[in-house]
Every structure is written in C-alpha cells, then in structure tokens.
Amino acid sequence: MVISMAILKIKIKQYKMIKRISLGLLIIALSTSCVSKKIYNDLESKYADLKKENRSISDENEELKKAKNQLELDQAATNKELEKVKAERDKVQTDYAALNKKMDVLKASYAALEKNSDESLKANMAKNRELLEQLGAKEKALALEQEKLDKNAKRLQELEDLIAAKEASMRKLKETLSKALNGFEGKGLTVEQKNGKVYVSMENKLLFNSGSWAVGSEGKKAVVEVGKVLGDNPDISVLIEGHTDDVPYGGSGPIADNWDLSTKRATAIVAILSENKAVNKQNLTAAGRGEFSPLASNATAEGKAKNRRIEIILTPRLDEISKMLNDIN
C-alpha cells in the first residue's frame, strides 16, 4: 500500500512537468514566427507526443486515483478489522485474566479439599477398622451361637428319638396289658393310652363291695396280672388313684369320708402289687381323689358306677428327658 502511494505521487509530478513543458513550447512557437518549418514540425511532433503522453498520464492518473480510493477503502477495512482484532484481543486478555483468577480459586479449593479428604479418609479408615472389629466380634458370637444351635439341634433330635422310643414302649406296654387283662373285658376294666401314659381303669364292681376297701378275689386276679406286667417293666412310674361317687360315706369304723375311703382302696391295690417281688415299690404311689375327679355325671346310677373306680396310671420315667431339656436350655 505504501509503494502504490509513492508511484502515484511520481506520476502526478511527471504529469505536471509535461504540462509545463508543453505550455512552454507553445509559447515559444507563438512568439517566434520566424521559426523554420523543420523546427516547427519537430515541435508539432513533440507536442503530439506530449499530448499523447499527457493522455496516457491522465489515464494512469485516473487509474491511480481509483487505486488510491480502493487503497483508502482497504485501509479503512483493515483499520476496522484491526479494531475488531484489538477488541477480540482485549476480550481474550480479559477472559484469560478471569480464567487465571478461577484457576487460583480452584487451586485453593483443591488444596482445601485435599486436606479435608485426607482427614476424612483417616476418619473413615478408623471407622472402618472399628466396624471390622465389631463385625469380627459379631461373627465370633454368631459362630458360638451357631455351635450352640447345632448342639441343641442334635440334643433335640436325640430327645425326639427318646420320646418316640418312650411312646413306642408305652404302646407295647398297653398292648401287653390289654392281652394280660383280656379275660376281664366286660367286667368294668378298660386299658387305654393317652397323653403318653397308659391308663388301666377298674370299676368298683370288679374290686370292692359297697363301702369296703377289701379287694374281692376276681379283682385281685386282675391286679396280680397288672403286677406281672409291671415286674417286667421296672422303669415305669405307677400312680394308683382311688375315686368315689358323690354319695357321702355312711359306714362306721376308721373311715371318715370318701377321701379316706378312696385312699384306703388305692392303698389296698398298692399292697397287692407289692406282693410281686419284681415290682419296684419305689415306683408305686397311692392317692385318694374322693368324689372330686368324676368321669361322668353323678346324677344317674350309671354315672355313679363309672365314677367309683381305681385308676392305675403308668408313666414312663422322664428323668433322662428332663436332663436333656435342661442341657438344651
């Protein structure tokens, strides 16, 4: 752009010089009428050349003016672009400064976060160690509890097996008694198993006369058969209960009431069972219930007859079962 402007200035100076020379030659030609034709022709030729040169310079001058105008437009555009670039540069510098400021803030935040993270990490690690210790203690406790549960499960299985064996033994005992007392069916004697026990029930018509505690001959035969079975089963606990109806005792002698009568009748059965040397007397217990544990209503003669009875209750020894239960608990 600077070179083009210099060329333009040179062309303008040349144009002005040619114009002055042409004007000077014209004045000389007019002032000297005695100039030779040859000189005149030369001047004419030079003048024509100068005019031609002048037109060429004029054209170039126009081109240069156009070039100048374009250059000025280009310079204006360049200046505008320069201002835009400067503005963008200023913005970039401003943004850069802001970014640097943010970077400083981030660095400070990161440093604080790193410090806090270290402290938090240490705290978390301490907490995790504590939790691991607690977990380890719980695992040990659970292992001990599981061991205890396994042991109890084993004992429970043993207990179930023992109870099953006891029940099987009592079923066999009931069957044995039923066979042994088969001859007394229909005479007021029954044998049944319930609640893990065997009940031998004998009505008074088989055993005693009214108001008496002396066992009749037929009844004694039945009691003796029971004694034989008990002799073969020494681990069975035997409870002999005497029962009456609700009619008050009206006899004389050492009997005061139905309590006494039921107790004496139970004791009489114990005495007969004890005659069998194989029967463990420590397993025998006599009890009088009077009229307070009836099987039926005392409102009828039939009910009264059922209530006047001896019950021999056979129970398996539960010492081993009780020991197992204590071990489990």
Cα 212 to Cα 264: distance, rounded to the nearest angstrom:
9
**Residuewise pLDDT in 10s, the chain (329 residues):** 545 556 656 666 665 666 666 666 656 655 555 557 788 788 888 888 888 888 888 887 787 788 778 877 877 887 888 788 788 888 888 888 888 888 888 888 778 777 777 777 888 889 888 888 898 998 889 898 888 888 778 877 877 887 888 889 899 999 999 999 999 988 999 999 998 899 999 999 999 998 899 999 999 999 999 999 999 999 899 999 999 999 999 877 788 899 999 999 999 999 999 999 999 999 999 999 999 999 999 999 999 999 999 999 999 987 666 676 776 76
Sign of CA dihedral 46, 49, 50, 51: positive
Cα 243 to Cα 307: distance, rounded to the nearest angstrom:
6
Cα 92 to Cα 90: distance, rounded to the nearest angstrom:
5
Q: Tell me the two tokens of residue 280.
A: 């463990």
Type of residue numbered 6: A
Looking at residue 234, the DSSP 8-state letter turns out to be T
Cα–Cα distances (Å) from 298 to 8, 54, 241, in that order, read 155, 167, 18
Question: What's the predicted TM-score (pTM) here?
Answer: 0.55
Q: What number of other Cβ atoms are within 10 A of residue 324's Cβ?
A: 18
Total residue length of the chain: 329
Cα 52 to Cα 44: distance, rounded to the nearest angstrom:
12
